[in-house]
Amino acid sequence: MKVMVFLFSLISLFSFSAHTAEYAIEQVKGNVYRFTAGNYHSVFVTTEQGTIITDPISPDAATYLRQYLSEKKLLPVSYMLYSHNHTDHVSGGEQLAGTETVVVAHQQAAWDIAFTRLPTRQPDITFNDELNVTAGSTQVQQAYHGENNGKGSVSYLIQPAGVLHVVDWIVVGRLPYKDLPGYDIQGMISSTKAVLSRFDFEIFVGGHADIGTRADLEHYLAYLEALYSAVRDGMLAGKTLTELQQSITLEQFSDLKMYNEWLTDNIKGVYQSLVDDSYFNFRADLDKTY
């Protein structure tokens, strides 16, 4: 896969926010591009009827991307699609969307964005299960697979390129983030299974970490299932969190980035979800050690 990368100096173009190390535009395949802002990624698609973009990421990132699209004469932005409700992905909508831009989000994400008064462009269109956006010969199939991370988190299948884009609840080549803040581990597993069984795709682009393939997603799913099973079964056997962190190694996944740094955090995240969401501490068949 040929990837064209264009890196830009912070000083020469903008005064960027401190947490953003660099911006990059990469051609993924055909008319599909990945936009990188530090550790964050979104996607944009060039079409005969305007540009389709996903998350603006932040006001600074959105300002940068808008100037890039303008310089490359890729405006107007016809659609801006929000992946979910989290501020670190959908802030900056007002800086990127124009007056003709249609902003789309899942209804749960839109509800939360409005309810929390998140400072970004509010969605114009919402959907419940799925919604296809078409511009020229390109179609972006948006689908909701249930709870997994945040509210209203969806997948995007971009055709005819065969590119799948998911933010946060699927990452390839790396462990999920630390102790899984805001994640539903059971939902992550079921949603990833749904994506793999439902969609044919060639390339995967995540909101974080690497670009990958179907095999990378299958490896990621295997990790989630092994992690969940090890923590659940250990808790059923009466092990404490400390004992779980000391005994669970999952060495078959040591190839994933942040394995050494985040594995014990991942264990803690699953453990806490089984207490908070599944009420393991109230189960009559278990010792109340949680």
Judge whether 288 lies within some domain: no
Judge whether 198 lies within some domain: yes
In the chain, which stretches have pLDDT less than 50? 1-21
Q: Residue 289's pLDDT is what?
A: 67
Judge whether 287 lies within some domain: no
Q: Residue 16's pLDDT is what?
A: 36
Judge whether 93 lies within some domain: yes
Distance CA 140, CA 113 (A): 22
- Sequence letter at residue 223: Y
Judge whether 258 lies within some domain: yes
Distance CA 246, CA 51 (A): 49
Q: Residue 74's pLDDT is what?
A: 84
Judge whether 225 lies within some domain: yes
Please identify which residue in the block is written with the tokens 């059971």: 186
Judge whether 289 lies within some domain: no
Distance CA 267, CA 231 (A): 7
Distance CA 140, CA 132 (A): 6
Q: Residue 242's pLDDT is what?
A: 97
Q: Residue 75's pLDDT is what?
A: 73
Judge whether 290 lies within some domain: no
Indicate the pTM of the whole model: 0.90
Domain that holds residue 187: 5-282
At 172, is the secondary structure helix, strand, or coil?
coil
CB-CB contact of 59 with 91 (8 Å): yes
Q: What is the CATH number of the domain that holds 240?
A: 3.60.15.10
- What is the number of structural domains in the chain? 1
Q: Residue 288's pLDDT is what?
A: 67
At 33, is the secondary structure helix, strand, or coil?
strand
